Amino acid sequence: FNVNAGIAKGLVDACAKYCPDAVIGLIVNPVNSIVPAMAELYKKKGLNPLNIVGVTTLDVVRANKFVAEITGKSPRDIAVPVIGGHAGTTILPLFSQDPIAATIAADKIPALDVRTQDGGTEVVEAKAGKG
């Protein structure tokens, strides 16, 4: 934790100084702890804490797979950006930003959001306590 938090702090400090209006996407573990801490750091500097977001590749892979299941396309051709945290409603898949995902009917997106947000739970339940 301390090593990753230190790296993130260095990045956030530099961005605060040189590009304070930038949105910073942090790919870091543990994302649920470090992103809020860095947002608080930004806030203490008088900057917008909402400009600090977390990115998790696992959630991206899940979102891409779910889009592939719906569209019949290969997950290799899909790249849905996912920002926010790494738990529940803090996970925000941006389906509109991928050309294939953007073809999915708007009324299907809320359920796809929830499935992506609950992807970890889905895996745990599928394993039924077997590791």
Using the CB atoms, write b or e for 55-76: b if 16+ within 10 Å.
bbeebbebbbbbbbebeebebe
CB 82 within 8 A of CB 67: no
92 three-class SS: strand
- Give the residue from 112, 100, 102 showing the smallest Cα distance to 76: 100
Instruction: Single out the catalytic residue among 26, 85, 86, 91.
Output: 86
Nearest to 113 by CA among 62, 50, 74: 62
Catalytic annotation on 102?
no
Catalytically active residues, by annotation: 86
